[in-house]
């Protein structure tokens, strides 16, 4: 999506677990680590296109030789500041290494003839919470929530904000990793100025999905090492790749559940939204640069009611298929120089019941844009 790989957290600190050969046995318990750092360049000093991380925070979940990173970043590229959510899974198929990436950087509100785009950089700060690993039968699971607090709608109404919480439900199976991402939007502090109570509005979240091969020759910005999909639907990305037996396979899939829940003063109510996957434009309305080989997934939530809808929650699920969990593949620790990650602060989370972190106020007054080009 942007002109660098998303951060993969604390790679050099994670040991590998040996998988049991019986699928009836429990998948090895994941190792979980946390990274949190400020004021660091992602380059080695020779890469002018690299991002500068004002603050980056995330966790890595490692089971076998599969790593999943969940992150929130406040970073700069040139004279622009961005905030984003990143989900990255590093995995092997047929001994070849890939990184599946899933990111969010903006929310849209459409009401009447107005469309407001609110980039996550408009937030006042973010919070991170996560739990210890638990087993659902033989499969390890854990929860990690990231909340972007007080995302400003527009600058001339200082109190017009909403919160976005991404509730990540991780399941690390033998041959696939899945993360259900419940997106919770809290509108209780949103003031839309000239619009009146009772007007219907629609909220949209734009997700960006892509697959990278770090061993590909760098083809330059904004595509870099991203693989172009041979086919895509509203729920999956497919590539011209085959297994050893010649059969095609899908490396990643997005399961979009268009059912969502609306909460208001009278309780919770079921509703049906919409979803689609598109090729991106080169840039979005807020100036963000998109990868040509990525795909933008739109998840829309219509028929919300201004000053009646308090919040709403959806639940897409990302599934990444990979080789069987094992310690016998090439160690991922050797890839640290490729993604340029060295953890400054790392805290092991195994044994912790709930850890809560709050970031500092960003002090940014960026406003949402009205009626921009959509990605």
Residue 274 to residue 361: CA distance in whole angstroms: 34
Helix, strand, coil tally for the chain in percent (to 5): 5, 50, 45
What domain range includes position 346? Answer: 11-369
Question: What mean pLDDT is predicted for residues 102-113?
Answer: 92
Residue 154 to residue 122: CA distance in whole angstroms: 9
HSE toward the beta carbon, residue 134, CA cutoff 13 A: 9
Residues 6+ apart with CB under 8 A from 275: 234, 256, 258, 297, 298, 299, 300, 316
Burial 221-244 (b: 16+ CB within 10 A, else e): ebbbbbbebeebeebbbbbebeee
Dihedral Cα 323, 103, 82, 80, nearest 10 deg: 80
Mean pLDDT of the chain: 77
Dihedral Cα 76, 80, 81, 85, nearest 10 deg: -80
The two tokens of residue 234 are 């509203």
Give me the DSSP letters along 246-276: S-B--SEEEE---EEEEEETTEEEEEE-EEE
In a domain, 223, yes or no: yes
In a domain, 6, yes or no: no
- What's the whole-model pTM score? 0.78
In a domain, 254, yes or no: yes
Cis peptide before 222 (omega within 30 of 0): yes
In a domain, 3, yes or no: no
The two tokens of residue 51 are 């991002």
In a domain, 189, yes or no: yes
Q: What are 158-171's pLDDT values in tens digits?
A: 688 999 999 999 99
Q: What are 168-221's pLDDT values in tens digits?
A: 999 999 999 999 999 999 999 999 888 999 999 999 998 889 898 888 776 666
Residue 337 is given by DSSP the state: H
Q: What are 32-47's pLDDT values in tens digits?
A: 999 988 898 876 555 5
For 198, other C-beta atoms within 10 Å of its C-beta total 9
The two tokens of residue 7 are 């951060």
Question: Which spans in the chain are helix H?
Answer: 336-339
Q: What are 289-344's pLDDT values in tens digits?
A: 567 888 888 999 999 999 999 999 998 888 898 888 975 434 443 332 222 222 21
In a domain, 290, yes or no: yes
Q: What are 74-95's pLDDT values in tens digits?
A: 998 888 888 999 999 999 887 8
Cα–Cα distances in angstroms (integers) from residue 279 to residues 48, 115, 125, 205, 355, in the given order: 27, 21, 30, 16, 38
In a domain, 145, yes or no: yes
The two tokens of residue 367 are 């406003």
Sign of the Cα pseudo-torsion (11, 62, 100, 311, in order): negative
**φ, ψ of residue 181 in degrees (nearest 5):** -115, 95
Please, are residues 140 and 30 in contact by the beta-carbon 8 Å criterion? yes
Domain total of the chain = 1
In a domain, 227, yes or no: yes
Is residue 371 scored above 50 in pLDDT? no
The two tokens of residue 48 are 């002018």
The two tokens of residue 52 are 């500068």
């Amino acid at each position: 999506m942007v002109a660098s790989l998303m951060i993969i957290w604390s790679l050099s600190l994670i040991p590998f677990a040996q998988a049991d050969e019986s699928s009836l046995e429990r998948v090895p318990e994941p190792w979980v680590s946390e990274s949190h750092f400020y004021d660091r360049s992602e380059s080695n000093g020779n890469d002018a296109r690299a991002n500068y991380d004002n603050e980056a925070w995330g966790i890595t979940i490692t089971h076998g030789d599969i790593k999943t990173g969940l992150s929130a970043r406040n970073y700069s590229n040139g004279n622009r500041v961005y905030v984003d959510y990143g989900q990255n899974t590093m995995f092997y198929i047929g001994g070849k290494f890939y990184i599946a990436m899933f990111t969010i950087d903006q929310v849209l509100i459409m009401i009447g003839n107005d469309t407001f785009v609110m980039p996550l950089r408009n937030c006042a700060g973010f919070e991170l919470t996560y739990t210890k690993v638990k087993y659902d039968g033989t499969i390890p699971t854990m929860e990690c929530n990231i909340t972007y607090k007080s995302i400003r709608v527009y600058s001339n109404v200082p109190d017009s904000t909403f919160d976005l919480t991404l509730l990540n439900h991780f399941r690390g199976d033998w041959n696939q990793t899945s993360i259900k991402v419940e997106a919770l939007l809290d509108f209780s502090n949103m003031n839309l100025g000239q619009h009146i109570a009772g007007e219907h509005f629609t909220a949209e979240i734009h997700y960006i999905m892509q697959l990278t091969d770090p061993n590909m020759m760098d083809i330059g910005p904004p595509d870099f090492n991203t693989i172009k999909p041979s086919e895509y639907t509203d729920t999956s990305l497919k590539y011209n790749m085959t297994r050893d037996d010649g059969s095609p396979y899908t490396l990643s899939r997005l399961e979009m559940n268009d059912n969502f829940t609306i909460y208001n003063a009278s309780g919770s109510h079921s509703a049906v939204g919409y979803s689609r996957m598109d090729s991106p434009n080169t840039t979005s309305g807020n100036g963000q640069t998109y990868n040509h080989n990525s795909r933008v997934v739109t998840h829309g939530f219509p028929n919300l009611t201004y000053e009646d809808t308090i919040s709403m929650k959806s639940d897409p699920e990302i599934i990444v298929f990979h080789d069987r969990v094992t310690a016998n593949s090439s160690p991922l620790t050797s890839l640290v120089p490729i993604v340029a990650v060295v953890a400054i602060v790392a805290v092991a989370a195994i044994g912790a019941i709930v850890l809560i972190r709050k970031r500092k106020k960003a002090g940014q007054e960026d406003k949402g844009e009205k009626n921009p080009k959509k990605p």
